[in-house]
Structures are given as C-alpha cells and as structure tokens.
Amino acid sequence: MILVYDYMARGTLADHLYNNENPPLSWEQRLQICIGAARGLSYLHTGAKGTIIHRDVKGTNILLDEKWAAKVSDFGLSKMGTTNTSKTHISTMVKGSFGYLDPEYYRRQRLTEKSDVYSFGVVLCEVLCARPAVMHTVELKQMNLAEWARNCHRDGELDQIIDPSIRGKIEIQCLNQFVEIAMSCMNDSGIERPSMNDVVKALELALQLHRNCIERNKEVVSVNDSAAEIRSAEPGCATDESIQCISETIFSEINDPNGR
C-alpha cells in the first residue's frame, strides 16, 4: 500500500518553535496554527463516521503548508474509538510520546478522546514557551513542560515560561484566555477536560481578543497623530484645553472600550 500526502513546505510546528535556524513565529501565527490543529483533532473525534483517537499529538506531528495552514499527521498509533454507547473508553496498551502522555490513560490504560485533549494542552504550552515537552538540560523542576507550566500558573509566575520573542506582545486578556485553555486541557481528570470542539471555540475567542487589541492600538495611534498635527498647526488653531480633551478621550477609550 502506498500513502500519498500533500507536500507541507514549512515542515513541522516544532521546527518553528525551537529550531534557531527559523525566525520566531508571531503570536497571531501561533494562534492560527493552534486553531487549525484543534479543528483537525475535533474532526477526528466527531466529524468522521466513528471517533478516531490520534494517541500521539505533539508539535512534530503538526505539519504546516506554504500558507501556514496546520494539518495533523502521523496516524501510526491512532485508534478507533468505541462504537458501543455503553462504553466510555477503550482498554489498550499504553502508547504515545513521553511528555505528552495523558497521566490518566497511563495509570488506568483506558483510552478516550480526552487523551488527545491532554496532549494538545501540552502542545499549547509548547507554543507559548517555544521549548520541547521534555528537556534534560534544565533544572529538575523545568524538565517536564506540562508540570512546570502548571506550577507557574498556580504561583502566578507565567512570565517565566513565555517565549522571550513574544513576551510583552500578548494582550493580557488574550494571554489569560490561552493559558486557561491549556490548563483545562491538562486537567488530571479526563472528564474535566473540554472537548476539542470547545477548545476550537476558546482559541478562536483568544484570536479575536488579540485582533481587537491590535485595532484599539491602531485607533489610539491615529488619534495621537491627529493631536500631533494640531500641535504643529498655527498658533490659535488649537488651545491647550482642546488638546487635553483629546488626550482624555484617548485615555477613557483605552480604559472602557465597550463604553463607546
């Protein structure tokens, strides 16, 4: 049997996260790639005739085409889900990649689509941190990315794990939304994890929050430019009071954009 795949010109997601030969991805690119991969997994879980569990979701198994569209690949470990409505899992030998493996699946040898959700949560951490799921060259508490990310989230130290190339470039609401998605995916209990369809919707909201922030910044820059033009005009064309009014308007819009 011969398998034919589309040529994915940009390689894997991992190639662009922690391969120094490639320029770092922008935050918006990362969000769009995550959404594309999440949609692919959601289709596997609910869009086909039967549930397909990938079992090896990781950064190296997410391929990117020339337009940065993400596609989930490598179905060598995939498993068909149960067709019996009275069964919620498949009993099977544990397989997967270290660092991405669902701890509940590892302990109980019971496979569900929520095992893919856990692995995808680790991928989201990879995207935020730009490092592999497991590293042996760092101190012990940082070796396992999922555990380190959870600890930093619990202790309010998220800035420690964010990729330096995007640190300070993520709007706080967007960051909080993204991190909450990742943490919910990595919940120890499978039934507490969201479905991949819910993950898609949550990531789309994160992207919208990011774009809203960009638009607000553009509006502020535009108004600031207008204020600068007024200052450079002839004396008497604009008073200090009118310029102060413009500044106050800008400030009020930043603090309460929904009030406009």
Q: If we measure between CA atoms, which residue out of 80, 89, 90, 84 comes closest to residue 54?
A: 80
Instruction: Look up tokens 């819009």; give the residue.
Output: 253
For residue 131, the tally of other CB atoms under 10 A from its CB is: 18
Identify the residue whose tokens are 């004396």: 235
Helix (H), strand (E), coil (C) string for the chain:
CCCCCCCCCCCEHHHHHCCCCCCCCCHHHHHHHHHHHHHHHHHHHHHCCCCEECCCCCHHHEEECCCCCEEECCCCCCEECCCCCCCCCEECCCCCCCCCCCHHHHHHCEECHHHHHHHHHHHHHHHHHCCCCECCCCCHHHCEHHHHHHHHHHCCCHHHCCCCCCCCCCCHHHHHHHHHHHHHHCCCCHHHCCCHHHHHHHHHHHHHHHHHHHHHHHHHHHHHHHHHHHHCCCCCCCCHHHHHHHHHHHHHHHHCHHHC
Which of 6, 56, 155, 163 is the catalytic position? Answer: 56
Q: Is 56 a catalytic residue?
A: yes
How far apart, in Å, are the Cα atoms of 34 and each of 41, 155, 170, 200, 249? Answer: 11, 25, 16, 8, 37
Catalytic residues: 56
